[in-house]
Amino acid sequence: MIPVQLPAAVSDLIARLNSAGYSAYAVGGCVRDSLLGLTPHDWDLCTSALPEDMLRVFADERVAETGLKHGTLTVIRDHIPYEITTFRVDGAYTDHRHPDSVSFVSDVAEDLSRRDFTINAMAFSPDTGLTDLFGGREDLEAGIIRCVGEPCLRFEEDALRILRALRFASVYDFAIDPATDEAARKLAPTLQNVAAERIREELLKLLCGRGAGRMLRAYPDILGVIIPEILPMVGYDQQNHHHSWDLWEHTVRALEGVPPEPDLRLTMLLHDTGKPEVRTTDAKGEGHYKGHQQASARIAEKVTASLRLDNASRDRVIRLVENHDIPLRTVTGETNLDRTFLLRRLNRFGEKDLRALFLIHRADRIATGYSPPEREDARLKERMDALDALLAEQPCYTLKDLAVNGRDLMAAGLRGKAVGDALQRLLEEVMDGRTDNTKEALLNRLSSLN
């Protein structure tokens, strides 16, 4: 395993606390990630100093006191925040959300024992080296997620830990220890009591992890507590000769086939959720799913609201779900027809979402089991290349690219709704290659539009 190397600022903060007579350590995620050879995205510290002691020790530093009640002082050095938290144990979690109280303690061992998993319960300081009381290092080496202490008790204290177990297993591609696994499944229904914001954070990380597909296959029961809308897909036979797998396996494969970005992964998780409700069966026994895109989009609306996803991501996911299999022919961008098609798609979706739709198509088609990945990769490349080539010309595909604006049209005598309508028609003229995007050509064209 890789030794922990503290950034200079962290060693210094620890040294300052030590010279004032307190013990202090780097703790949790940063120790875990260091041992894995990954670069920690932040450094958390824990200390025997009480909040008022820390305020005194760091009186000359830039600090934020927002978490002080729970024992956390944030020291800011070179614009980087370092959270330093007094050793503490948590009181009962009667509402399954927050500890009723926290009490400060003097021993790092007690602080480590309140933490969720062995791999997250290690502390490090330059003087003492690694403090690993629960076999965290061994579990890191073996790739195991295991609760600190008795799994059922730990999940009863805070049900979010159930989802966190799946999240860490996904992100590091680890296994979940059998006793932890069993407790997680047993107590999964209590996840219903956890605040949506906390769930969302863990779920999105889970969906973007290397082991996401494995977690979805192994734990639809747990994920179904958070998103019951996925449950009808599990084991659902599509009765369709374009599909090799049941709907859940198709969904999992489609999800694994898009880049690990939250919006895209969530889109694939939900893209076919509407299928079971719209299914019809023809005389030959073949299943059809007309309108499933809209049905899935309605489900996506509900699910993204229940997860309290931010509005931008929410709108995006709903739109991508609704349009996940919109026709995108293989185009070269060379003929006028190709240009027009691409420009109209750009106009409707914008560059970012159009590229996302290319990726979604590829993943969705490979996940049917009937389209060879090589063919879909080649098709994706063709589409991306055509789009790159077209965009390099800086073509006009939005109203703001148009060489005339509303003021120009008003000067030409149009009023009210007619202005917007005319701008839209002129934009279409330009995208379709019938008119040049110059003021002169457009104003000329205007007179013959009506």
Which run of H or E residues covers position 62? strand 62-64
Which run of H or E residues covers position 264? helix 262-270
How many residues contact Mg ion, by CB under 5 A?
1
Residue type at 350 in one-letter notation: G
Instruction: Write 349-352 long-range contacts (CB < 8 A, 24+).
Output: 349/319, 349/323, 351/387, 351/391
User: Which of Mg ion, ligand ATP, none does residue 162 bind to, with CB < 5 to 8 Å depending on kind?
Assistant: none
Residue type at 434 in one-letter notation: R
User: Which of Mg ion, ligand ATP, none does residue 160 bind to, with CB < 5 to 8 Å depending on kind?
Assistant: ligand ATP
Residues written for the chain: 450
Is residue 170 a contact point for ligand ATP (CB under 6 A)? no
C-alpha angle with apex 181: 176 to 182, nearest 5 degrees?
Answer: 160
Query: What tokens appear for 101 in the block?
Result: 């109280």
Nearest to 163 by CA among 208, 119, 134, 204: 204
Candidates 34, 86, 118, 120; binder of ligand ATP (CB under 6 A) is 120
Nearest to 167 by CA among 145, 149, 136: 145
- Which strands, in side-by-side order, build the sheet including 122-125? 62-64, 72-77, 80-86, 44-47, 24-27, 122-125, 129-132
Binding residues among 21-50 for Mg ion as defined by CB under 5 A: 29
Candidates 17, 28, 248, 299; binder of ligand ATP (CB under 6 A) is 28
Residue type at 173 in one-letter notation: D
Pick the closer one to Mg ion by CB: 29 or 67.
29
The contact mask relative to ligand ATP for 130-169 (x = CB under 6 A, - = no) is ----------------------------x-xx--------
The contact mask relative to ligand ATP for 31-70 (x = CB under 6 A, - = no) is -------------x--------------------------
The C-alpha R_g of the chain, in whole angstroms, comes to 28
Is residue 67 a contact point for Mg ion (CB under 5 A)? no
User: Which of ligand ATP, Mg ion, none does residue 263 bind to, with CB < 5 to 8 Å depending on kind?
Assistant: none
Measured over the CA atoms of residue 361, residue 365, residue 371 and residue 374, the dihedral's sign is: positive
The contact mask relative to Mg ion for 403-432 (x = CB under 5 A, - = no) is ------------------------------
Instruction: Select from 67-75, 114-122, 246-254, 375-383 the region that touches ligand ATP (CB under 6 A).
Output: 114-122
Q: What is the smallest separation between the CB atom of 356 and ligand ATP, expressed in angstroms?
A: 25
Q: Where are the alpha helices (DSSP H) in 172-258?
A: 178-187, 196-207, 212-218, 220-226, 247-256
Q: What is the smallest separation between the CB atom of 206 and Mg ion, expressed in angstroms?
A: 15
Instruction: Select from 100-108, 112-120, 126-134, 233-241 the region that touches ligand ATP (CB under 6 A).
Output: 112-120
Pick the closer one to ligand ATP by CB: 124 or 236.
124
Q: What is the smallest separation between the CB atom of 65 and ligand ATP, expressed in angstroms?
A: 19
User: Which of Mg ion, ligand ATP, none does residue 86 bind to, with CB < 5 to 8 Å depending on kind?
Assistant: none
How many residues contact ligand ATP, by CB under 6 A?
10
Q: What is the smallest separation between the CB atom of 158 and ligand ATP, expressed in angstroms?
A: 5
C-alpha angle with apex 228: 226 to 229, nearest 5 degrees?
Answer: 125
Binding residues among 293-332 for ligand ATP as defined by CB under 6 A: none
3-state DSSP call for residue 320?
helix
How many CB atoms sit inside 10 A of residue 234's CB?
17
Query: What tokens appear for 354 in the block?
Result: 């159009």
Q: What is the smallest separation between the CB atom of 81 and ligand ATP, expressed in angstroms?
A: 12
Query: What tokens appear for 206 in the block?
Result: 């889970």
State which residue has the least CB distance to ligand ATP. Answer: 29
Pick the closer one to ligand ATP by CB: 28 or 333.
28
Query: What tokens appear for 99 in the block?
Result: 């500890």
3-state DSSP call for residue 288?
strand
Pick the closer one to ligand ATP by CB: 44 or 353.
44
**Which residues are registered as beta bridge partners of 131?**
123
Q: For 123, list phi and psi in degrees, rounded to 5.
A: -125, 155
Tell me which residues touch ligand ATP (CB under 6 A). 28-29, 44, 115-116, 120-121, 158, 160-161
Tell me which residues touch Mg ion (CB under 5 A). 29
